[in-house]
Chain A
Amino acid sequence: MSVSKVIKQKSYEKIIFVLHRHPFTFIPVVLLFIVLLLTPVALYFMINSLYPQLFLNTEIKTTFILFGSVYYLSTYLFFYVRFLDFYLDMWIVTNDRIVDIEQHGLFHREITELDLYRIQDATATVQGFFATIFQYGDVFIKTASSNTNIIFKNVHRPNHVREQLIKLADEDRKYHMQDIKLDMN
């Protein structure tokens, strides 16, 4: 499904950014997945070298295989849930609004929409060694109302995104003077 269909793009609307989390932030999950996959293999060789007679017992061997199978299936599920969480989080910035799509687990999705002219403050944070090298970080977007605050998590070049957001918000305010006056009253 295309982005314009996801956000039900209006005729006058232009998509400026489609932001995802930086791929580097997924590497720790991949490494953890590999370690989790190798753990039972290492455990098997360790037990086999310490107690070679143990796996000759059919009951123990069968129990080990069944537990190992359940463990591997759970590991795949864990990795897949983390992948979906990483991959389906998306922030779409148009010349009119921001659409924040956040996936939590397999069957929980949260979509928040914010008009650009309501943006009061945008802050970019780049924290950590790898974040500085690979240029990714968070962008905090605050509005006058305290209930809608959006955070772009681990996006590429957060400062550039922040600058563009401020420009777009200023631009959008010109078309919403009436709404701003109504909000003030």
Chain B
Amino acid sequence: MSSINFTSFSVTFIMLALTMLTLYYTWQVVAQVDWSQSIVLLDINWFK
């Protein structure tokens, strides 16, 4: 059973580590974004 518990622990640890890394790097990249900047979703001139 001990090897099975180790497998379970390893997979859980890897999944948590990957989740933390993904969230951390997303935050790192997205932190520089100016969220107050207005964006154009649809411009009617595109269809003219």
Contacts and interface: CB of A to CB of B under 8 A. Distances in A.
B7 A73 contact: no
3 tightest Cβ-Cβ pairs between the two chains A and B: A69-B26, A80-B15, A72-B22
B27 to A, nearest CB: 9
Q: Per DSSP, are chain A's interface residues mostly helix, strand or loop, or mixed? A: helix
Contacts, number: 34
Interface stretch (A46-54, A59-67, A134-142, A169-177): A59-67
Interface of A: 2-3, 18, 20, 58-59, 62, 65-66, 69, 72-73, 76, 79-80, 83, 87
Given A65-B29, A66-B26, A83 B11 contact: yes
Interface residues of B, number: 16
Contacts of A20: 4
A87 B8 contact: yes
A73 B33 contact: no
B22 A79 contact: no
Nearest to B35: A62
Contacts of B23: 69, 73
A80 B22 contact: no
B33 A58 contact: yes
